[in-house]
Amino acid sequence: MDELLNGPVRNMAAAVRQGQVTATALTTAFLDRVERVNQDLNAFVCSNAGMALKQAAKADAELKSGATPGPLHGVPMTIKDSLDTLDTITTWGTSGRRETRPGRDATCVARLRSAGAILLGKTNTPEFTLAFRTDNDVYGQTNNPFDTNRTPGGSSGGAAALIAAGATPFDVGTDTGGSIRLPAHFCGITGIKPTTGRIPCTGNALPSAGVLAPLSQPGPMAKQVDDLHLLLPLMSGPDLRDPYSVDASWHDPNGVDIRQLRFGYHTDNGIAKPTGEISATVLDIVRMLRDQQLNISEARPPGLEMAHLIYGKLFVADGSDTLLGMMQDSRTENLSKLLQGSLATEPVMMEAAEFAYTMTMWDNYRSSMLGYFENHDVLICPVNARTAHRHDEQEKMQDYSYTLAYNLTGWPSLVLRAGTDQQGLPIGIQIIARPFREDVCLAVGLWLEALIRQQLGNFPVPAINAFSTASVQNK
């Protein structure tokens, strides 16, 4: 059973379909794993255990009756608490929603349930997802399984911590400035921010309308890239509610010829210099690619250095109106400590001329950045300027420019663990492709994951874990 629980989601689904394990047994096993690690992590914050076991029993009965199973039939999952769930409280991490049951699923959650997945419960997020560490006034602080004195990142920190600890097969995060990719990097798992519009944002805490809406995307988070390969197409496609969702073609990662791709890379984005260990990890990957006779050159996208400035301007453009509106809708009177500095004492609306200039600057940035793909198909770069920091350390917002740059462009970006620093903390890399070419990200991720395993072996599992063996992180 442990080999199955530690393995790919695809194998779990096949085992249920073939009668090798029941959905009830899988659900019970993962609930037991949650129980073993969550006291130390505080990542799993709202249990759906009773309903999950009922749904698992129903899934088992349906198989016995000859029903045609979906691709995730009987496979457990958890969902970030910023995404609405029909049968489970969804707080968005804000005090005004402590007891809120939305009455419907977020679109991406509904699609996974339609595929047969079973909801174990919700994972922690900062208030309204608006922080790079996971803490709120409803459930408190989530800890990193590699070192509980450190953050798992945010805003999908609960999801990443629980996956890294082996207590859930997969989760769905949301990413507005790095909220899938940063926790994946900090916790040593994999995750993908799809292209803007690939997956509808309907049912997410942040509104799917307004100036900031194009920055956000839900996406799967899991133990290995093959899990993302399975999950992403199931979540994709417009829902006729999110105005930014797009009916884009899906390309099969199996059709990508890695040896025909033109790779670019950089170790420094010109905004925040990364640690030497992070730079060295990127260069190790570059060496592996060159050893395989692949076409790779050092090149930074033109205009990248403007990302932090533009992102900062967008988040003050409405004078806190979006945040105030979410507080009002949620009946939240006081923001959590993490967000208190986000709400100006006297909000000042950006002047019309400056707002128009900011929007033009954003469009020009996206246009300039697209020029990168005239000479490259893939970009390899750091996820952040540092590895997971301690809860009490002051963060530098420039460090997050490595992820937020690609929320501004809307490009797909996959994070994969590629190393470990001297403190035993994971180091991830970003694999980035042109819009709606998630297949390239996935194909490179699958290929590179296997190459890293071959050359470096399996990475150490975190100190807080539900694994029964000591070297399963990259199996």
Instruction: Encode pLDDT of 253-293 as tens digits.
Output: 999 999 999 999 999 999 999 999 999 999 999 999 999 99
- If phi > 0 it is left, if psi is from -120 to 50 it is alpha, else beta; for residue 337 that is alpha
Predicted confidence at residue 470, as pLDDT, reads 44
The pLDDT tens digits of the residues spanning 404-458 come to 999 999 999 999 999 999 999 999 999 999 999 999 999 999 999 999 999 999 9
Reduced to 3 states (helix: H, G, I; strand: E, B; else coil), residue 172 is strand
Distances (CA, A) of 277 to 423, 427, 450: 11, 8, 22
Catalytically annotated residues: 80, 155, 179
Q: What's the alpha-carbon Rg for the chain, to the nearest Å?
A: 21
Predicted confidence at residue 314, as pLDDT, reads 94
The pLDDT tens digits of the residues spanning 296-319 come to 999 999 999 999 999 999 988 988
d(CA 158, CA 307): 27
Mean of the per-residue pLDDT values of the chain: 96
Residue that has been written with the tokens 């390239």 in this structure: 440
Contacts of 356 (CB under 8 A, 6+ apart): none
The pLDDT tens digits of the residues spanning 315-352 come to 889 888 889 999 999 999 999 999 987 765 556 778 99
The pLDDT tens digits of the residues spanning 84-97 come to 999 999 999 999 99
Can you tell me the mean pLDDT for 224-252?
97
How many Cβ atoms from other residues are within 10 Å of residue 348's Cβ?
9
pLDDT at residue 471 above 80?
no
pLDDT at residue 464 above 90?
yes
Answer whether 108's CB lies under 8 Å from 220's CB.
no
Please, what are the domains in the chain? 2-456 (3.90.1300.10)
Query: Which residue type, as a one-letter code, is found at position 32?
Result: D
Distances (CA, A) of 414 to 136, 323, 438, 445: 27, 28, 8, 7
pTM as predicted: 0.97
Phi and psi at residue 448, in whole multiples of 5°?
-70, -35
b or e along 409-442 (b: 16 or more beta carbons within 10 Å of the residue's beta carbon)?
bbbbbbbbbbbbbeeebbbbbbbbbbbbbbbbbb
